[in-house]
Structure 1
Amino acid sequence: MTARAPLVVVGDALLDEDVRGDVDRLAPDAPVPVVSGARSARRPGGAALAAWLAARDGREVTLVTALGADASSRAVRELLAGSVRLVELPLHGALPHKTRVLGADRPLLRLDEGEGRAREATEEARATVRAARGLLVADYGRGATEVLRAELERAAARVPLVWDPHPRGEAPVPGTRLVTPSAAEAAGFARRLAPGPAHRAASPGSGVLEQAARDAAVLLRAWGVASVAVTLGERGALLTHGETPLFVPAAVSAHGDACGAGDRFAATAAGLLADEALPEEAVRAAVAAATRYV
């Protein structure tokens, strides 16, 4: 079997934590659920999750991200140890730590702590991007992409680059091979880039594919990227290069916890493009991988 190409992930790491328990009553002093038997589990989040998932596919993965001396940064290092090589950027502030409280597997509350941002690029980080054979940008708006943007612009002309965008993050660099927004993200970006009635959200249950195609066309033109794959949750994804879009349906309908499915989609697509797969092949495999993940 052909060896899988190494992948460099650039972006903002987070620490994700889930607190799960049972809910069978409301509190007597307020109409809120009581979570009993709570169990806590931590996992890498943001770009760190994308890198961890790519490493689970059996490829060599390097993560370029900002980490500091805080407890959340230390936890992410421990979670990635032995599977992902780290190239660290200086972090100003504490690493973001997001805690979901779930009752009967349904999210009830999320607590966010830490507003840390990447402070500056390092020569090691620049050299890592320059040497990459395949790149995934997981941009959560915390500065890692911003400080390395010049290197990423040059890399996009040389190697396959997949950009997983975030409403708070940077626009993809021109020449990006594939951008992977969710339908809601694509609609939000399109409204900002080309405001008008054509980019209002589609009514529930109708016109979802048509809206995704219109939004993707706006993003292609405005960002100067090669292709856009709008992820559509349990439906699948819509891929467009600027002409007739290709709808890639999910083989089965998945109704589990979708948190992290976008990272699974982007990590799969980026790895396969680094392996020299066609975008259509990469998106089909990414839809299947995200469905299994959910």
Structure 2
Amino acid sequence: MSRVFVLGNATVDQVHCVERLPAPGETVLASSIARCAGGKGLNQAVAAARTGARVTLAAPVGRDPDAALLAQSLAGEAELEALWLAGDAPTDLSSIWVAEGGENVIVSSAGCARSITPEQAMRLCDTLVPGDFLLLQGNLSAQATHAAAEAGRARGASCVLNTAPIAWDMHALLRLCDIVIANAGEAAILTAGAADVGKALRARGAGTGIVTLGPRGALISTEAGQATIAAPQVETVDTAGAGDVFAGTLVGLLSTGHPLGLATQTAVAAASLSVTRRNTMPSFPTRSEIASLLERGRRPMPGSAHA
């Protein structure tokens, strides 16, 4: 059975629910505050594991109580093995503001995430074998991420890049990736505002380009053509973490042998379910919910179209 290896960050998320996002210089009062596990690497590893995939997460953390909170948060994830890379920097934190209607803004620290060296990233990928999936994001340094992608390809693994956050120039990395997952804004940055962002991602080196479109679903662009996957209509409460649910669910299902179209359709449905709930990891669909969404996805979803 193939494995999903996630090399990424892990954070403690502090989520503030507010009536509306503040204007510059303005202070608003939160109606509630929650602390939970998060970070794109951890989030995507959890989402992948809940598809039934075998998952390893390698994430840098500090030597502090926040690191213990992260470890405890994964205690019930049966298919997930965590490799905590303890360093001198404190565990990274994310401050998330969520307005009524689900809109959010996020600021994350990255001192811990950026502590991973290129040499360390390459060593961590030594256990990859053909058929495995390496899932990367933008929180680590450019040098470490490139080193991991090159090591993964050398070992025959499929490299998947989720382009969030774009904190450095990712153009040279695209050619190392079998699949690139970007939201509409990120895709526009990477393709210089091309009209057909899916094809433009592939033209820049990505084997398959997937553009997430929020409530409009997702666009898949492959050498064989393009397809749009519609999202179900839901009442949005909190969109934080939805992109991670999509990426993790997609890669988890691909690693267990499901075709790209079905995996993407299920990932869209899983992300749509997560936005109906508050907070990051606590909002993620359970393993049984993913199984139900997968079964439902075997039937054509109204609104899907092919080009």
Q: Does 2:95 align with 1:99?
A: yes
Say which of 162, 165, 171 aligns to 1:164: 162
2:127 corresponds to which residue? 128
1:66, 1:118 within 8 Å by CA — same for their partners in 2? Answer: yes
**Mapping of residues 111-260 of structure 1, within 5 Å:** 112-113=108-109, 115-116=111-112, 117-120=114-117, 121=120, 125-130=124-129, 133-142=132-141, 144-155=144-155, 158-166=156-164, 167-168=166-167, 170-171=170-171, 172=173, 174=175, 176-191=177-192, 199=193, 211=195, 214-223=196-205, 225-242=206-223, 244-260=225-241
Q: Alignment length, in residue pairs?
A: 263
Q: Secondary structure at the match of 1:48?
A: helix
Q: Secondary structure at the match of 1:33?
A: coil
Superposition TM-score, scaled by structure 2 size: 0.73
Q: Which amino acid aligns with 1:151?
A: A
Whole-angstrom CA distance in 2 between matches of 1:89 and 1:159: 22
CA shift for structure 1 position 132: 6.6
2:305 corresponds to which residue? none
* Aligned residues with identical type, % of pairs: 23
Q: Residue deviations 1:182-207, cap 9 Å, x none?
A: 0000001111xxxxxxx27xxxxxxx
CA shift for structure 1 position 258: 1.1
2:103, 2:238 within 8 Å by CA — same for their partners in 1? Answer: no
Q: Which amino acid aligns with 1:79?
A: S
Whole-angstrom CA distance in 2 between matches of 1:177 and 1:123: 18
CA shift for structure 1 position 85: 1.4
Structure 2: which 5+ residue stretches go unaligned? 276-307
**Cα gap change, 1:247 to 1:97, in 2 (>3 Å):** same
**Mapping of residues 38-117 of structure 1, within 5 Å:** 38-83=32-77, 84-89=80-85, 91=87, 93-102=89-98, 112-113=108-109, 115-116=111-112, 117=114
Q: Residue deviations 1:30-83, cap 9 Å, x none?
A: 9643335x4423122210111122223333321022223244433322322352
1:88, 1:125 within 8 Å by CA — same for their partners in 2? Answer: no
1:288 corresponds to which residue? 269
Q: Which amino acid aligns with 2:61?
A: L
Q: Secondary structure at the match of 2:220?
A: strand
1:161, 1:270 within 8 Å by CA — same for their partners in 2? Answer: no
1:13 corresponds to which residue? 10
Whole-angstrom CA distance in 1 between matches of 2:110 and 2:177: 30
Q: Which amino acid aligns with 2:145?
A: T
Output the aligned Cα RMSD. Answer: 3.2
Q: Which amino acid aligns with 1:46?
A: K
CA shift for structure 1 position 106: 5.9
2:136, 2:160 within 8 Å by CA — same for their partners in 1? Answer: yes
Q: Which amino acid aligns with 2:150?
A: A
2:133, 2:255 within 8 Å by CA — same for their partners in 1? Answer: yes
2:279 corresponds to which residue? none
CA shift for structure 1 position 93: 2.9
Moved more, 97-106 or 74-83: 97-106
**Cα gap change, 1:145 to 1:271, in 2 (>3 Å):** same
Whole-angstrom CA distance in 1 between matches of 2:35 and 2:41: 18
Superposition TM-score, scaled by structure 1 size: 0.75
Give the greater-gyration-radius structure (CA): 1
Q: Residue deviations 1:96-147, cap 9 Å, x none?
A: 2012245657668756445231332167613233477233223324465244
CA shift for structure 1 position 274: 0.9
**Cα gap change, 1:175 to 1:146, in 2 (>3 Å):** closer
**Cα gap change, 1:93 to 1:237, in 2 (>3 Å):** same
1:5, 1:271 within 8 Å by CA — same for their partners in 2? Answer: no
CA shift for structure 1 position 88: 3.8
Whole-angstrom CA distance in 1 between matches of 2:240 and 2:91: 19
**Cα gap change, 1:242 to 1:220, in 2 (>3 Å):** same
Whole-angstrom CA distance in 1 between matches of 2:202 and 2:122: 32
CA shift for structure 1 position 218: 1.9
Q: Secondary structure at the match of 1:62?
A: strand
Q: Which amino acid aligns with 2:111?
A: E
Q: Secondary structure at the match of 1:180?
A: strand
**Cα gap change, 1:78 to 1:251, in 2 (>3 Å):** same
1:89, 1:122 within 8 Å by CA — same for their partners in 2? Answer: no
Whole-angstrom CA distance in 2 between matches of 1:293 and 1:108: 14
